[in-house]
A and B are shown apart, each in its own frame.
Chain A
Amino acid sequence: DTGVSQDPRHKITKRGQNVTFRCDPISEHNRLYWYRQTLGQGPEFLTYFQNEAQLEKSRLLSDRFSAERPKGSFSTLEIQRTEQGDSAMYLCASSSQPYNEQFFGPGTRLTVL
C-alpha cells in the first residue's frame, strides 16, 4: 500500500499526559498537512510542511502542540499536557504540489479521559 499511513490509529490517554502521532506521506509528496476533525464537523487546518520546513501554523495550534518533519519524509505531531478538549481525529494529508489534491491518511483518533 503506497497511500498515507498514520500511527497509531487510536490513542486513549489520561489528561495531562503527552502523546505523539506519526504520519508517513506518499513517498514523492513534498507537502504534508495536519488537520483536526471533531465529531460532526469538517476538518480544521493545523499546520503544513513543504519538505522539512514548517510554513504555517494555525491559531488552533497552541503552545502545547508541536509538529516536525525532520528529513522531509515522515512527520510527527506531539501534544503535551493533553486536555479533554484535545479529543478528536487527527488527520494527515500529503500532496505533490500545493494546487493538487491532498491524499488523506486514515487518521489517529485521540480520546483524552
Chain B
Amino acid sequence: AQKITQTQPGMFVQEKEAVTLDCTYDTSDPSYGLFWYKQPSSGEMIFLIYQGSYDQQNATEGRYSLNFQKARKSANLVISASQLGDSAMYFCAMSAAGGTSYGKLTFGQGTILTVHP
C-alpha cells in the first residue's frame, strides 16, 4: 500500500519569495513515481512536476523544483519567486511503477498556499 502525507494544511508566502511544500511518502514498491498537482479554486487539476524514484537528479520545471530525498522518503515542492496566481491547493501524489497498480495515483491531503502581495 502507498501513503502520502502532507503535514501543512495551509502555507502563506509573500509575493516573489520562495516557498517549500512538504510531502513524505511510504511505499513497499521498489520503483515509483512522485507527482505534484495544483488545484486552483476553479477545480481543475494541473500537473506541475514529476520525479522518478531512480532519477539521480532532482526534477525542475520552470519555477518548480522537487527536492527528492529518497532515504528520508520525502518529495518536497519548491516554488521560487511566488506569484499571486500560485495561490491554490497543492497535492503530492505517487504511483507504483509496476504491477497491477502501475499508474494509479495515491494523493495526499493537500496544502493550501496563499500568496500575499
A106's nearest neighbour on chain B, judged by CB, is B44
> Quick check: is B101 within 8 A (CB to CB) of the other chain?
yes
Residues on B with C-beta less than 8 A from A103 are: 47
Interface residues of B in 45-96 (CB under 8 A from A): 45-47, 50, 52, 91, 93, 95
> Quick check: is B100 within 8 A (CB to CB) of the other chain?
yes
Chain B, interface size category, equals 20 to 34
Residues on B with C-beta less than 8 A from A45 are: 104-106
> Quick check: is B12 within 8 A (CB to CB) of the other chain?
no
Q: In the complex, are the beta carbons of A44 and B103 less than 8 A apart?
A: no
Interface residues of A in 62-111 (CB under 8 A from B): 89, 91, 93, 95, 97-99, 101-107, 109
Q: In the complex, are the beta carbons of B103 and A95 less than 8 A apart?
A: yes
Q: Which of A40, A42, A89 contacts B43 (CB 8 A)?
A: A89
Q: In the complex, are the beta carbons of A48 and B104 less than 8 A apart?
A: yes
* Dominant SS among interface residues on chain A: strand
- How far does the Cβ of B59 sit from chain A's closest Cβ, in whole Å? 11
Tally of chain A residues near chain B (CB < 8 A): 27
- How far does the Cβ of A44 sit from chain B's closest Cβ, in whole Å? 7
> Quick check: is A33 within 8 A (CB to CB) of the other chain?
yes
Q: In the complex, are the beta carbons of A107 and B44 less than 8 A apart?
A: yes
Residues on A with C-beta less than 8 A from B37 are: 104
Residues A42 and B45 in contact in the complex (CB < 8 Å), given A55-B100, A98-B102, A99-B33: no
> Quick check: is B35 within 8 A (CB to CB) of the other chain?
yes
Q: Which of A41, A91, A104, A106 contacts B109 (CB 8 A)?
A: A41
Residues on B with C-beta less than 8 A from A35 are: 105
Q: Which of B97, B100, B108, B110 contacts A99 (CB 8 A)?
A: B97
Q: A48-B103, A99-B95, A101-B35 are in contact. List 18 more A-B contacts (CB 8 A).
A: A31-B103, A33-B104, A35-B105, A41-B109, A42-B4, A42-B107, A42-B108, A43-B45, A43-B91, A43-B107, A56-B104, A91-B45, A99-B33, A102-B47, A102-B103, A104-B47, A106-B43, A107-B43
